[in-house]
C-alpha cells in the first residue's frame, strides 16, 4: 500500500486517527473506494463520490445503523460506521472469504430476526437512494399502496419520460402493480435491507455474512428474499430454509418472487438500459 495524501487527509479529518497507507479497491458501480490502514492498527474502507447527491452517504450510514440495531438480538451483521459526511463514508474493513453452508444458515436466521424487528408503517423517516437514484420513502398505511406509489410508479415514469419502455410494457407493469392487494399477503412491516442482491452480501473469512450498501426501509419481507434470488446468491436454498425456521413464510411465497422483482428490475432499467424494463414486463405478465 502507498499513501494518497488527499484521501488520507480527508479520512483523518473524520476519524481522528492517522492514515498510514491507502490503496484503491473495487467499490461497485457508483463510488470510488479505497482501503485505509490506520495508525491505531485498524483497517477501514472509504468510498467517495464526486458531487454526491444531498445526504447520499449519510442516508447509507443511517441505514446501516438501523439494521445494526438488530444485531445484538441475532439480526444481520453490518460493518461498523466509522464516519460519514457529504462526500464520503468510512466503514470498518471486512475480510472476505468463501461462501459456506454454516454461514448461509446463520445468515438466513439472522435476516429473519432483522425482518421481525419491524418498524412503524411502510417506508422510512427520510427518502433515500438505491444505487445513485433517489428512492421515495414517505410512509403509507399498506404495502400495496407503498409498492405501487413509491416503488413502481417513480421508476416507470423515468422510463416513460426517457422513452426507455414501450407503452405496452408499461401498461402491463402498471396493471400488475395495482393488483398487489390480490397477490401479496398482508403482513406487518419488516425491517428491510432494501437492495439485498448478491453483491451486497459479503461472506467473511471467519464464516459469517455481513451485509453492505443498504437502501433500508420498512416493507414486505418477501422483497429481500426476492432480491437475493434475482441475480443469484450462493447457498440460497440453505439461506431460505434457515430463514423459514425462524419466520415461516406465507404459503405461495415462491410464486410471488417474480412479483417482488419488478422494482429492482425497473431500477436497473433506469440505470443500465431498457432490456431490464422488458424483463420486468415479462414477469409482470404472470400476474395479470
74-105 residue pLDDT tens: 999 999 999 999 999 999 999 999 999 999 99
Q: Where are the domains of the chain?
A: 5-92, 101-287
Average pLDDT over residues 264-273: 96
Task: Please name the fold of domain 5-92.
Answer: Phosphorylase Kinase; domain 1 (3.30.200)
What residues contact 282, with CB distance under 8 A and at least 6 apart? none
Q: Which residues are bridge partners to 218 per DSSP?
A: 123, 191
Cβ proximity of 67 and 59 under 8 Å: no
Q: What is the pLDDT of residues 61-76, one digit of tens each?
A: 999 999 999 999 999 9
Start-to-end CA distance of the chain, whole Å, equals: 56
Q: What is the pLDDT of residues 117-141, one digit of tens each?
A: 999 899 999 999 999 999 999 999 9
Average pLDDT over residues 215-226: 98
Q: List the catalytic residues.
A: 195
pLDDT band at 3 (very low <50, low <70, confident <90, very high): confident
Average pLDDT over residues 247-257: 98
pLDDT band at 27 (very low <50, low <70, confident <90, very high): low
Average pLDDT over residues 15-39: 89
Task: Please name the fold of domain 101-287.
Answer: Aminoglycoside 3'-phosphotransferase; Chain: A, domain 2 (3.90.1200)
Average pLDDT over residues 240-246: 98
Provide the pLDDT for residue 274. Answer: 78
| DSSP secondary structure code for residue 140 in this structure | B
Amino acid at each position: 500500500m502507498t499513501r494518497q495524501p488527499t484521501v488520507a487527509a480527508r479520512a483523518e479529518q473524520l476519524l481522528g486517527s492517522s492514515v498510514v497507507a491507502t490503496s484503491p479497491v473495487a467499490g461497485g458501480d457508483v463510488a470510488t473506494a479505497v482501503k485505509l490502514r490506520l495508525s491505531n492498527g485498524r483497517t477501514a474502507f472509504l468510498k467517495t463520490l464526486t458531487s454526491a447527491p444531498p445526504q447520499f452517504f449519510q442516508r447509507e450510514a443511517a441505514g446501516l445503523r438501523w439494521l445494526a440495531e438488530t444485531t445484538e438480538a441475532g439480526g444481520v451483521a453490518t460493518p461498523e460506521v466509522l464516519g460519514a459526511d457529504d462526500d464520503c463514508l468510512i466503514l470498518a474493513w471486512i475480510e472476505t472469504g468463501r461462501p459456506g453452508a454454516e454461514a448461509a444458515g446463520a445468515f438466513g436466521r439472522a435476516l429473519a430476526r432483522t425482518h421481525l424487528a419491524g418498524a412503524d408503517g411502510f417506508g422510512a423517516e427520510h427518502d433515500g437512494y438505491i444505487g445513485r437514484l433517489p428512492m421515495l420513502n414517505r410512509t403509507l398505511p399498506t404495502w400495496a399502496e407503498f409498492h405501487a406509489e413509491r416503488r413502481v410508479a417513480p421508476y416507470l415514469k423515468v422510463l416513460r419520460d426517457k422513452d426507455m419502455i414501450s407503452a405496452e410494457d408499461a401498461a402491463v407493469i402498471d396493471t400488475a402493480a395495482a393488483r398487489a392487494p390480490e397477490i401479496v399477503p398482508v403482513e406487518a412491516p419488516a425491517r428491510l435491507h432494501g437492495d439485498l442482491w448478491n453483491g451486497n452480501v459479503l461472506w467473511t473469512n471467519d464464516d459469517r455474512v455481513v451485509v453492505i450498501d443498504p437502501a433500508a426501509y420498512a416493507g414486505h419481507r418477501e422483497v429481500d428474499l426476492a432480491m437475493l434470488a434475482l441475480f443469484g446468491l450462493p447457498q440460497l436454498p440453505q439461506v431460505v430454509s434457515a430463514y423459514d425456521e425462524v419466520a415461516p413464510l406465507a404459503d405461495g411465497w415462491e410464486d410471488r418472487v417474480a412479483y417482488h422483482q419488478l422494482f429492482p428490475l425497473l431500477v436497473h432499467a433506469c440505470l443500465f438500459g431498457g432490456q431490464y424494463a422488458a424483463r420486468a414486463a415479462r414477469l409482470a405478465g404472470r400476474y395479470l
